[in-house]
Structure 1
Amino acid sequence: MKFARILLKLSGEALMGDQKYGIDPAVVSMIADQVKEIRALGVEVGLVIGGGNIFRGVAGATRGMDRTTADHMGMLATMINALALQDALEAKGVHTRTLSGLEMPKVAESYIRRRATRHLEKGRVVIFGAGTGNPYFSTDTAAALRANEINAEVVMKATNVDGIYTADPKKDPSATRFERIAFQEVLEKGLKVMDASAIALCMENHLPILVFDMNKPGNLVAAVKGEAVGTLVS
C-alpha cells in the first residue's frame, strides 16, 4: 500500500444519492463496501463526514440564524450521518467507532486523540463526528485537523468529479484537470478544493490532499495503492 493510514473526507451531500435531502441507504452501503475493501488490505481509516444533506450551518446563518447556533445544528447533522455510516459498516462486519467533537456519551465516545489512535491501531474504522466541536469551523477544517492529529499520511477528499480542474468541468467543457498542484497555487487561484483554512493547515504540516471521484468503483482502492487517481495537492 502507498498509504498505511488515511483520513477520508466525505460531504454530507454524497449520502443523498438522487434524493433532494437526507440519506440514501444504497449510497451509504456502497461507501461502506469501499471502506471495507481498503480495510481488508490493512489500511487504517479515519473518516470525517459533513452534514449538508441535513443542515448546513453557514446557510442557516445567512438566513438570520445565530451563527453559533446554526453551526451546532450542523454538527448534530454530521453525527446523524456518522451513525448511519457506522451502522452500515458494522452490518458488513467492519469494527467501527464514532468519536464526537461534542460530548454526547449515550450516542458516541468523546474525541480524545490517543483513544482515536488506539482504535486505529486495533484495526477499527474511526468516524470523527461533530466537526472540530467548535462553531465557525467547517468539516473540511475538521478533516485537516484530525488527519494531522492522528498522523494520517494523506487526506483523501471524495468528490463527484475526478480531481481538480481549472474551472467547473460541468459548466466549462474546456476545463482541464490537474494531475498535481501545489498548495500555494490552490490558494492563489481560489480553487474550490477545501476551505482555505484546511488547505493552509495541510500545507503547514506537509500533509498531502488527494481529490478523487469515489463514485467510480475501484477508485478508493487504487488511491490507497498510489495509482494515478484524481489530483494530488502537495
Structure 2
Amino acid sequence: MTSKTHRNPSRDGYMTEKQESYKRVLLKVSGEALMGKAASGVDPDMIDMVAADIAEVVRSGVQVCLVVGGGNIFRGLSAAAKGMDRAQGDYAGMLATVINALMLQNGLERQGLETRVMTAIQMASIAEPYIRRRAVRHMEKGRVVIFAAGTGNPFFTTDTAAALRANEMECDALFKGTQVDGIYSDDPRRNPDATRYDRLTYMDVLSQQLNVMDAAAISLARENKLPIVVFNMHAPGAFGAVVRSEGLFTKVVEAN
C-alpha cells in the first residue's frame, strides 16, 4: 500500500514532478463538471472554459480526444434504483452524453478547433459512427475527437469507455477532470481530514476502494499500463497545467 502523502508545495505553492512529454491524451469530462454553478443541465460558461483549456493544450502540439459523461442530464444507475429497467436507463444515459458532446463541440469550434463527434450508437445525421482507424486519422490531422454514447453497451460506465478509448487511441495518459484536486482517502468536501494522494498504484485504488473510477476502468488501465491523472478542472487553465505536470493532481501508475 502506498503511504499517505501530504501537500509539499514548491516555491509557487503547487506540487510538481518531472515534466512529462505527452503526444496524445484523452480527457474524461463528467457531465457533472459541465454543470458548473448551475443546479442541472449545462452551464455555457463552463463549456467555454473547458473549450479554452482544451484549445490551449491542442495548440501546444498535444493531440486531444475526449469522453464525455451524461450525469448532469440523466443517470441510468440512479434511474434503475428507482425501478427503471437498468439497460433502458443506461441507453438513456448514453443519449445524454451525446447532448453534452454536441455542446462541447460547439464550444471547441468557437475556439477555432476542428472537431469530430463519434458515437458508439449510430446516429448519422448528427455524428460519425465510432470507427477506430478513422478516429486515429482525425487526431493525426489535428482534430479534437469527442467520443459519445459510452461503449454503446449498458452496464458499462463512461469511465470504462474512457479507459477503453484511451487504449484504442494509444494515448499516453488518461486525464480525468473532477471537482477536487486529486484522489483523497475520503470525500474532502465532507471530511476536512481526508488525505490527498500525489501518486498511487492501480492496486492501491482498487484495494482501498477509492472510487475515483470504477473497478473495470482501473483494471483496464492497469492491464495496458495506461497512466491516469486526476485533477480539478474547475480552474481556468487547469488541464494545460497538469499536462505540463504542474499544479495539484494525483497520478495513478503501475508502481511508485
Find the aligned partners of 1:55 and 1:171 in 2 and give their Cα distance: 24
**Normalised TM-score (structure 1):** 0.98
Correspondence 1:17-166 to 2 at 5 A: 17-166=36-185
Equivalent residue, structure 2, for 1:190: 209
Deviation at 1:219, TM superposition (A): 2.1
Find the aligned partners of 2:101 and 2:237 in 1 and give their Cα distance: 23
Q: Which blocks of at least 5 consecutive residues in structure 1 are unaligned? A: none
String of CA shifts for 1:178-199, please: whole Å, max 9, x gaps: 1100100110000011011000
Deviation at 1:122, TM superposition (A): 0.2
Q: Which blocks of at least 5 consecutive residues in structure 2 are unaligned? A: 1-19
**SS of structure 1 residue aligned to 2:78:** helix
Find the aligned partners of 2:193 and 2:87 in 1 and give their Cα distance: 40
String of CA shifts for 1:7-37, please: whole Å, max 9, x gaps: 0001101111222211111110110000001
Deviation at 1:231, TM superposition (A): 0.3
Deviation at 1:65, TM superposition (A): 1.0
Equivalent residue, structure 1, for 2:221: 202
Find the aligned partners of 1:229 and 1:59 in 2 and give their Cα distance: 31
Deviation at 1:64, TM superposition (A): 1.1
Find the aligned partners of 1:16 and 1:225 in 2 and give their Cα distance: 26
Deviation at 1:226, TM superposition (A): 2.6
Deviation at 1:171, TM superposition (A): 1.5
String of CA shifts for 1:166-224, please: whole Å, max 9, x gaps: 11111112111111001001100000110110000000110010000111223211211
Deviation at 1:228, TM superposition (A): 5.1
CA contact (8 A) 2:49 2:236 kept: no
Q: 1:178 aligns with which of 197, 200, 223?
A: 197
Q: Which amino acid aligns with 1:154?
A: A
Q: Which amino acid aligns with 1:218?
A: G
Cα RMSD over matched residues?
A: 1.0
Equivalent residue, structure 2, for 1:227: 246
**SS of structure 2 residue aligned to 1:12:** coil
Q: Which amino acid aligns with 2:128?
A: E
Deviation at 1:63, TM superposition (A): 1.2
Query: Which protein has the bigger helix share?
Result: 1
CA contact (8 A) 1:155 1:207 kept: yes
Aligned residues: 234
CA contact (8 A) 1:219 1:229 kept: no
CA contact (8 A) 1:68 1:135 kept: yes
CA contact (8 A) 1:51 1:78 kept: yes
Amino-acid identity (%): 55
Find the aligned partners of 1:176 and 1:68 in 2 and give their Cα distance: 36
**Normalised TM-score (structure 2):** 0.89
**Segments of 4+ in structure 1 off by > 3 A?**
none
